[in-house]
Structure 1
Amino acid sequence: MGSGASSEMKPGQVSEATMEELTAALEGLSPEERQRIKDALGAVSTADPCPGPVDCSSLSVVVTDYNGLLPQPAEPKFKGALCQIYVRSQPYGGSDKSSNGHRYDSIPFANGMIGAGMSCQLIHYVQEEHDKFFEVCKNFDFIIVRCNPGQIKADGGDQGKFDTSMKLIRKAGIQVWPSPDVMEKMGAKDALCKVATMNIGLEDTLAYYSEEDFATGFKKTMAFQPRVIKQNRGSSGEGIWIIKLKAANYCATFGERSCEGDEVLTLFEANDNHEEEHTVAEFIEFCVSGRTDESGTWTSKGVGKYLEGGKDAGGQIVDQRFCPRIVEGELRYNQIGDAVVGIIHKKPKEGGISAVGGTGSIYTYYEADEPKFASLTENFLKTDLPLIMPALGLAEEPVPLWWTTDFILASPEGTATADEKWIVGEFNCSCVGISKCLAAYCKEDTPNATYDDISAEDKAEANKYGTLMGTKALGIMEASMASKK
């Protein structure tokens, strides 16, 4: 604040102040501070709280309208909310926002619930109103969380505090999709170890939580065959390394030998397909301690320290067999509950290994019933999917409402299609977007983007997803109610 009368003006005094007093208060501000107040006033919502059966009037409304939202049912079967966050420090409220302040794909989610006979009110988490927000949440039967990872922190909040309160909501019997436990355990890289004995896993997938275990285990696995080392905290391929021995002097049987510290590794990082060479000792040092004199010089954008904080803080490294046919691409299954709604083949650019977005990879889209993937789809849905949540320690939780599974082909070339083995590379249920709605998010060249900018064709497809989500959500709610009787 400036040094003038403004420092004496309290928020509760504004309504009682004279025009002269308000003017004096403003004159005490610097030009920059006056502009910030002007900008803030311009951003004040003109909308009422989202209509519906639950009174949300105690919460701040940060949006300007509810464009596209269907009327709430007069007598809903269940009362729900879709939780979003508007990042006040970022343009447009975050890179996933429409110009009215909602997440760009919120409407199909909410309308899907409404179409199934349930209410779904759009609310925003404001960290200064934490306690009030969760008091309101207690009045819902289910909450759909659509806050992108990192956004709560970016808005000045505490993700851990939010998660703790959301866990209490879940413990009270209110459904949370996805719950913090589901996001954490499905998103953790050691989930690959927990499904290792399934058809979609590799039995030689290992997880390390200490420096000693990592150094010993990695030297042994690396001596046997090319490996993929994955940190737990990274995103978009950062900290995922495809590693080969430069000398290619692999042993014939596992455990026959362990690598020496001075053996040279050829490493490719999945976020940008760049290549580096380091010794075994340097790589271990980078993974454990980051950039030090002992780790050599790195061109990676990452900082290493993959075990920092220990297991409870997400410090872990996963060690998995390298599947050479990754160069042919990977499959992403888009899923609503236990149903596949679309398949994307992501092929790396020529000469690349990773198909992470932004690396020049080529995407090909298929329907859920694509014949060439029929064997994988059937085996995954019927055999492995029912086992996944219990294997991850989530037996009491439903399969996520909207999530993805990435598969890599592990079979050697020449394997018959019906006999191919596809393994899981990653599960993701942390605010997966609906790509058909991308026209509704603001960016530099479309700062006023709205739900109306989505084409009729894409809107119909997104609404189809929403309808299926509503059906699956209603099934979860009815099953939950039945179990309480």
Structure 2
Amino acid sequence: MGTRRVAVVWRGDREARRTATPQNNRFHRVFEELAAIGVHAEPAVYDEEFAEEVRTQLLATDGVLVWVDPLHEGKTRAVLDPLLRDVAARGPWVSAHPDVILKMGVKEVLHRTKHLGWGTDTYLYGSAEAFREAFPERLRTAGPRVLKQNRGNGGQGVWKVELIGSLPGGEPAVRVLHARRGSMPEELALPDFMARCKVYLTPDGCIVDQPFQPRLPDGMIRCYMGADKVVGFGHQFIKALIPPPPEGPGSEAAQPGPRIMHPATAEPFQALRTNMETGWTPQMMAVLGIDARSLPIIWDADFLYGPRTVSGEDTYALCEINVSSVFAIPDQAPAEIARLVAMRF
């Protein structure tokens, strides 16, 4: 058996493709670990402009690792995903496969798995009519909510919505805050805000509705997974959906804190690790119809702290699963990625 070849795909322009080497990009540790186990890994910088060139390159490999966001400067994966499906159908394995992303790497998964231990009071609106009929009453009775478009990244299409009273004409008024960095709270009529959200209700889109988590200022825990095992954690004091300080959204106080990385063995997160490895991940796989070999080689689950139990223990609420482009990653992850790549052959 000859040397196995793997392509590492990320988005870039023609110049980035021409000059890419295993050493001059943020994935250099992954390249190093793959080389250490005898796998030849090559850069495969992607853009729609030269998609067919990338397809030809990928078909000459044994496997493909992909790091491409669903939304990037107005570009989507509308061309890339069919390309990757075609490549996978012709022999090379692809991680993460677009069909797996559509099962677990979209916000709909929060609704499909809401009955698991990571779930919350979650609803899904698949049409403007369903959204119009149910959301106003839910907002009135359940308190502040967080709405999320089905597929996005960087806070795009994620909104905190809270009822603040009524306008002179009797329409309910809301305060909304977009999760995109630099956003400011807005106050407007609820129907006007809901009209803004119709863009998320595309034929293959939806809006997911979750309760706002009051412990958001305690930070977000990113649980990094190598297939079905935890490979590390990242804890960050995020500022998304938290109103900016008086100094403004561009001030230092408004910026998120650094993501502090921890190994899988970190004591504060062992209860979460146990839940992920022995309960929630296998349960999710069963619900979504994903077998062990199809699990992404690297993915993560973002958790917020839920209400404490009577005995003072933390609970966790899933707010997102990231599959398309998981980075930065813990120090232990590149070696685990390489180990899991070797198992695919």
TM-score range with shorter-chain normalisation? Answer: 0.7 to 0.9
Match of 1:104 among 25, 30, 33: 25
| Residue 371 (str. 1) matches residue 288 (str. 2) | no
| Residue 360 (str. 1) matches residue 280 (str. 2) | no
CA contact (8 A) 2:213 2:305 kept: yes
| Gap change, CA 1:319 and 1:350, over 3 Å in 2 | closer
Match of 1:191 among 109, 113, 116: 109
How many residues are aligned here? 334
Match of 2:185 among 265, 275, 282: 275
Deviation at 1:412, TM superposition (A): 4.3
1:329 aligned partner: 219
Distance 1:100 1:338 in 2: 30
Distance 2:11 2:290 in 1: 26
Distance 2:20 2:148 in 1: 37
CA contact (8 A) 2:303 2:318 kept: yes
2:237 aligned partner: 347
1:119 aligned partner: 40
**RMSD (Å) for aligned C-alpha atoms:** 3.5
Deviation at 1:269, TM superposition (A): 2.3
| Residue 474 (str. 1) matches residue 324 (str. 2) | no
Distance 2:134 2:148 in 1: 14
| Residue 405 (str. 1) matches residue 301 (str. 2) | yes
1:163 aligned partner: 81
CA contact (8 A) 2:124 2:209 kept: yes
| Gap change, CA 1:397 and 1:153, over 3 Å in 2 | farther
Q: What do residues 424-459 of structure 1 show as CA deviations (whole Å, max 9, x unaligned)?
A: 1111122222368xxxxxxxxxxxxxxxxxxxxxxx
Higher-strand-fraction structure: 2
Deviation at 1:322, TM superposition (A): 1.8
Q: Which moved more, 1:365-374 or 1:211-220?
A: 365-374
Aligned partner of 1:424: which letter? L
Deviation at 1:282, TM superposition (A): 2.0
Aligned partner of 2:208: which letter? V
What SS does structure 2 have at the residue aligned with 1:160? coil
Distance 1:98 1:139 in 2: 20
CA contact (8 A) 2:71 2:152 kept: no
- Unaligned regions of 5+ residues in structure 2, if any? none
What SS does structure 1 have at the residue aligned with 2:79? helix
| Gap change, CA 1:81 and 1:262, over 3 Å in 2 | same
CA contact (8 A) 1:266 1:277 kept: yes
- Unaligned regions of 5+ residues in structure 1, if any? 1-73, 249-259, 289-304, 437-460, 478-485
CA contact (8 A) 1:330 1:407 kept: yes
Deviation at 1:345, TM superposition (A): 2.0
Deviation at 1:473, TM superposition (A): 1.7
What SS does structure 1 have at the residue aligned with 2:28? helix
Deviation at 1:161, TM superposition (A): 3.2
| Gap change, CA 1:133 and 1:365, over 3 Å in 2 | closer
- Percent identity, aligned pairs only, is 24
What SS does structure 1 have at the residue aligned with 2:175? strand
What SS does structure 2 have at the residue aligned with 1:183? helix
Query: Which one has a bigger Cα radius of gyration?
Result: 1
Aligned partner of 1:116: which letter? I
| Residue 87 (str. 1) matches residue 87 (str. 2) | no
What SS does structure 1 have at the residue aligned with 2:294? coil
Distance 1:338 1:421 in 2: 21
1:241 aligned partner: 159
Superposition TM-score, scaled by structure 2 size? 0.82
| Gap change, CA 1:172 and 1:211, over 3 Å in 2 | same
Q: What do residues 259-293 of structure 1 show as CA deviations (whole Å, max 9, x unaligned)?
A: x98122222322245222222222222212xxxxx
| Residue 434 (str. 1) matches residue 302 (str. 2) | no
CA contact (8 A) 2:22 2:42 kept: no
